[in-house]
Chains A and B, each alone.
Chain A
Amino acid sequence: EIVLTQSPATLSLSPGDGATLSCRASQSISTYLAWYQQKPGQAPRLLIYGASNRATGIPARFTGSGSGTDFTLTINSLEPEDFAVYYCQQRASWPLTFGGGTKVEIK
């Protein structure tokens, strides 16, 4: 099973700040990685797939990058609605697995 490790666990930032979230895979997964945003009481929302492709309707301030074992989600200039938990997910091999999440909270 491929283990995804996200860091940091919590990011305390202010609106307007930039955010950098990391996801590291236990073995190479090429670019088979997605990022999701989840707010309390809601289902996750797909942000990025294939490591760098924005899903439909996702603002350009969300950028995904990386390949192999190291991936990054960058959020430029945080909006109030961006404070949430972010998960990465790999589809390189079964079982599909998720990282433990990074909570982006208001400082």
Chain B
Amino acid sequence: QVQLVESGGGVVQPGRSLRLSCEASGFTISSHHMHWLRQSPGKGLEWVAVISFDGTNRYYTDSVKGRFTISRDNSKNTLSLQMDSLRAEDTAVYYCAKEITNHYFDNWGQGTLVTVSS
């Protein structure tokens, strides 16, 4: 069955970097646009970034533009999020998600917690 497993979360100081990975199984990511979303503790959901199925197009929410980079390795069936210049407000559970169609998310990972704190 479809499974997404995130890794790479942890505690990091403000201004530092972290790289999240999402390993997919049960389907081929090369056929799908893939996304990162996040949820701050006790708060609602926020979409972060998307990468097209072939990696040619990427969009980001304004608050992470220039700091985060989404990428994919279709040969390894893996999605990544490079997060630089981290801020306290980036603290959240980060989810990778697959589109069912047209930017709706039918499969999510279990999430990985990123805590930005000194």
Whether B44 and A100, one on each chain, are in contact in the complex, defined by CB atoms closer than 8 angstroms, is yes
Task: Please give, as numbers and ranges, the residues of chain B lying within 8 Å of A87 by CB-CB distance.
Answer: 44-45
- A46 to B101: give the CA distance in the assembly, Å: 12
Whether B108 and A56, one on each chain, are in contact in the complex, defined by CB atoms closer than 8 angstroms, is no
Whether B44 and A99, one on each chain, are in contact in the complex, defined by CB atoms closer than 8 angstroms, is yes
Interface size band for B: 20 to 34
Given contacts A43-B110, A87-B44, contact A95 B105 (CB under 8 A): no
Whether B103 and A96, one on each chain, are in contact in the complex, defined by CB atoms closer than 8 angstroms, is yes
Whether B109 and A43, one on each chain, are in contact in the complex, defined by CB atoms closer than 8 angstroms, is yes
Contact of B47 among A32, A42, A98 (CB under 8 A): A98
- Report which B residues bind A (CB closer than 8 A): 44-47, 50, 59, 61-62, 95, 100-106, 108-111
Task: Please give, as numbers and ranges, the residues of chain A lying within 8 Å of B62 by CB-CB distance.
Answer: 95
User: How many A residues face the partner with a CB closer than 8 A?
Assistant: 24
Whether B101 and A49, one on each chain, are in contact in the complex, defined by CB atoms closer than 8 angstroms, is yes
Task: Please give, as numbers and ranges, the residues of chain B lying within 8 Å of A98 by CB-CB distance.
Answer: 44-47
Whether A43 and B106, one on each chain, are in contact in the complex, defined by CB atoms closer than 8 angstroms, is no
- A42 to B111: give the CA distance in the assembly, Å: 8
Complex: chain A residue closest to B47, CB-CB: A96
Whether B45 and A46, one on each chain, are in contact in the complex, defined by CB atoms closer than 8 angstroms, is no
Task: Please give, as numbers and ranges, the residues of chain B lying within 8 Å of A56 by CB-CB distance.
Answer: 106
Known: A34-B104, A44-B105, A101-B45; 11 extra A-B contacts, CB below 8 A, are A43-B108, A43-B109, A46-B100, A49-B100, A50-B104, A56-B106, A91-B103, A96-B50, A97-B47, A98-B44, A98-B46
> 9 A-B Cβ contacts within 8 A?
A43-B110, A43-B111, A49-B102, A50-B104, A87-B45, A89-B105, A95-B61, A98-B45, A98-B47
Complex: chain B residue closest to A100, CB-CB: B44
Query: Distance in Å from the Cβ of B90 to the closest Cβ of chain A?
Result: 16
Which A residues, 43 to 97, have Cβ-Cβ distances below 8 Å to chain B? 43-46, 49-50, 55-56, 87, 89, 91, 94-97
Whether A94 and B59, one on each chain, are in contact in the complex, defined by CB atoms closer than 8 angstroms, is yes
Query: Distance in Å from the Cβ of B93 to the closest Cβ of chain A?
Result: 9
